[in-house]
Amino acid sequence: MMTMEPGKTRIGWIGTGVMGRWMCRHLMDRGFSATVCNRTRDKARPLLDAGAEWASSPKAVASASDVIFTMVGFPEDVQEVYFGDRGVLAGAAPGSILVDMTTTRPSLAREIDQAAVQQDVHAVDAPVSGGDVGAREATLSIMAGGGASAVDAVMPLFEIMGKKIVHQGDAGSGQHTKMCNQIVIAGTMIGVCESLLYGYRAGLDLEVMLSSISGGAAACWSLDNLAPRVLRREFDSGFFVEHFIKDMGIALREARQMGIVLPGLALVHQMYLSVAANGGQRLGTQALMRTLEQMSNVHPDSE
């Protein structure tokens, strides 16, 4: 298995959006050359300006790279990026490593792994948690699935992008772990927003209230990072609602296949479908607060 060396190992990156841009930039800042591709070239401009090379297709990225990272939106995007005449697998050379950091279906991660094995290519599924803040500050939690040798090989690259990297097991196990993460986040988000709504109606100073509960048993990432955005009425940044709906949908489908019932997740999924139906699909997940305010006839923006 190859050794990751700045100036020698060639990095490919497909998907330079809110998170992918920063994750790729961290690797470039450590001396790795990068070839990038994105559906919209303008979103890759910061990386191109920093010295990355542009490729016209996922296949072209793979042909120019030793390790190919993908960070796109939906399972159908992953399918398109990896398979077909212009896909990553069509351009990947034997011995190269494919790392999908998109949150997608565990079954799709296994499908990519099986296709990769057929052409002597290694595949790793490595979804992340930490949002845009974690991507920008290189503090992501990375959940890796795939063969141990491939995960070990790319570990130095993961350590540039994140703080907590754990190999969960075989192909697909990284995605299953991310589903566990999203189930927790779903319950946490409704709790954070309902807490703020309750505190507002009770007449509390919300910043003072948060200073107390964030130091106790309620402490969590969402309370620290997203509750302050709600107080500032910042709803247009962070992890997109439409992507969270996608993740919860995957988890609910996986749960049905395993014969388990997740009523809490189903409730939050329905709440976020309401957020999207009201035009909030491209807002951050903290935009759930606005839907809860509407349901309670609370209008902080007009007061």
Catalytic residues: 178
Query: d(Cα 298, Cα 200) in Å, to the nearest integer?
Result: 9
The number of CA neighbours under 13 Å toward the Cβ of 99 is 27
- What CA–CA distance (Å, rounded) separates 276 from 245? 9
CA distance readout (Å), 197 to 69, 173, 193, 262: 40, 37, 6, 25
Q: Are 125 and 114 contacting, i.e. CB atoms less than 8 angstroms apart? A: no
- The H or E element that residue 12 is part of is strand 10-14
**DSSP secondary structure string, 89-121?**
HHHPPTT-EEEE-S---HHHHHHHHHHHHHTT-
Distance CA 272, CA 48 (A): 35
Phi-psi region for residue 298, left (φ > 0), alpha (ψ -120 to 50) or beta? beta
Contact in structure between 125 and 102 (CB atoms under 8 Å): no
Cα 200 from Cα 222, distance rounded (Å): 18
